[in-house]
Chains A and B, each alone.
Chain A
Amino acid sequence: MDADTAAISITGLKVLRGKNLVLPGLDLLVPRGEVVGLLGPSGCGKSTLMRAIVGTQIISGGDVKVLGDTAGSAALRHRVGYMTQEASIYDDLPVAANLNYFAKILGAPPAQVAEIIERTDLGSEAKSLAADLSGGQRSRLSLAIALLGSPELLVLDEPTVGLDPVLRVALWELFAQLAAEGTTLLVSSHVMDEATRCDRLILMREGQVIAQETPGSLLERTGTDNAEDAFLALIRGAQEPGSDTPHVPKHRAGSEEP
């Protein structure tokens, strides 16, 4: 896999927000057609990385290539679907009207709207105002908009946060289905137990990628049985080179920096 065949290829990405160096020089290679989990504590730079990939983030250095083109270039605006962390929807429009508008902007076939409403299980809310939806439904509407136009790459920022477990499972099944159809999905989460649902994991901490591999090889390498412990093992391993049998402290990794 090289920069041209990869879905996302990043070298030396630097992002400065205010005086904070949020991403101090990040390298990443994401293959096509997989569900890739971007995991890490809140504040580690996941959303900033995603915005850089979509091309809405001002970057101060480095090279971000998406589907062979420079991130944010006009050619990519049809090919990349983006779901922000907060639901980006029009509260004063019904569900179907929200989708119809974005479908027109993308030039997506009108029939696709009904199909996506079905796929995201919003059928019974199609005529409701977005303002009247529950948190989970809002997030699904935001996801539904990202699916319009069948993008080759979906960048989804915490799509499963706050959803009930049944819906979460359903969404991960939808992601796997989309990947099977050839879509690349980059899905962020700060919930580590979602890691096992991904084909590949990217673990981030303090603006750095600390691991990129399949869930199986990550667990095997760290000798742990879940992603949370693997994450801690990696951090401890980085701090104390040579200590390969970490004990696991009972606090959450990372801090809530802005």
Chain B
Amino acid sequence: MSVARTLATTARVLNQVRHDHRTLGLLLLVPALLVGLVAWIFTDTPVFGQIGPAMIALFPFIVMFLVTSIATLRERRSGTLERLLSLPLGKADFILGYALAFGLLAIVQTAIAVGFAVWVCGLDVGGNLGLLFAVAIVDALLGTSLGLLASAFARSEFQVVQFMPAFVFPQVLLGGIFLPRDQLPEALEKIGDWLPLSHAIDALNAVARDDQDAGYIWLRIGFIAAWILAAIVVGSMTLRRRTP
């Protein structure tokens, strides 16, 4: 592993995104606009106050998952991955380089989405706003790292697009947005308790309602961080220098 090569890869990925203005615009604005749409739908009801935090968990997570998985897949298809892996670039350098680049983008994107939800859509946050940002950013990083993992597994664009429903939708369904987790059948509740998105939703709800202490929030951030780390490690182990 080499810091210089990891950072060179991060800079290169960011440079690529910078040259594609439309991608950059979509990446940074779409989650905020979706949060705004939900707020608009529920204008005259208290619903946005209840589901707004979950939406902040959901949209950046999904967008970052998709963008990251397709970006690395593109690298595989263009032959640049094969070229890189014949060079002195560590597999972890490659995955970490991507994780850092899209992690930075995720931070900006999430900051915009949270700022939009709070100051434009009027989401009422009872607790610490800094903690809300922290949870939202870790959650978007989770999307990035799971996207890296999915693309390390996938062999084609078709497969990546289908990993979206496979990796993401169960987490959404079991995360407690549709039905609080403690009302789910017991087996599903247990599964939901181990999925990282559930903890992002719990933490964001707790900050918004201000009904838990900071320790509760940090425990959840730690749980999500463990998932991020595991996804990156498994992703770099799945990458193969030799292919059939």
Contacts and interface: CB of A to CB of B under 8 A. Distances in A.
7 contacts: A58-B243, A72-B242, A82-B83, A82-B86, A88-B78, A93-B16, A102-B87
Chain B interface residue bracket vs A: 20 to 34
Interface string A69-113: 000101001101010101111111110010001101111000000
A101 B244 CA distance: 27
Given A88-B78, A105-B5, A97 B242 contact: no
Counting contact residues on chain A (CB < 8 A from B), the size range is 20 to 34
B88 A106 contact: yes
Contacts of B79: 84, 86-88
Given A88-B78, A105-B87, 11 more contacts: A58-B244, A77-B88, A82-B86, A84-B79, A84-B83, A86-B79, A90-B80, A93-B19, A105-B8, A105-B88, A107-B88
A129 interface: yes
Interface stretch (A25-33, A49-57, A165-173, A197-205): A49-57
A104 B8 CA distance: 7
A92 B243 contact: no
B120 interface: no
Interface string A17-52: 110000000000000000000000000000000000
Nearest to B83: A88
Contacts of A102: 83, 87
Given A84-B83, A104-B4, A104-B8, A92 B19 contact: yes
A97 B12 CA distance: 8
A145 interface: yes
Contact of A54 (B4, B11, B19, B86): B86
Interface string B70-111: 000000001110111111110000000000000000000000
B241 to A, nearest CB: 6
Q: Which 4 A-B pairs have the closest CB atoms?
A: A88-B79, A104-B8, A77-B88, A88-B83
Contacts of A92: 16, 19-20
Nearest to B11: A101
B20 A56 contact: no
A74 B244 CA distance: 19
B19 A88 contact: no
B48 to A, nearest CB: 37
Interface string B16-45: 100110000000000000000000000000
A40 to B, nearest CB: 21
B15 interface: yes
A122 B166 CA distance: 45
Nearest to B4: A104
Contact of B86 (A80, A86, A87, A101): A80
Interface string B219-244: 00000000000000000000001111
B241 A78 contact: no
A210 B16 CA distance: 45
A129 B19 contact: yes
Given A89-B80, A105-B5, A57 B243 contact: yes
B87 A104 contact: no
A72 B241 contact: yes
A80 B86 CA distance: 8
Interface string A208-236: 00000000000000000000000000000
A55 B19 CA distance: 33
Interface in B185-244: 241-244
A84 B82 contact: yes
A56 B241 contact: yes
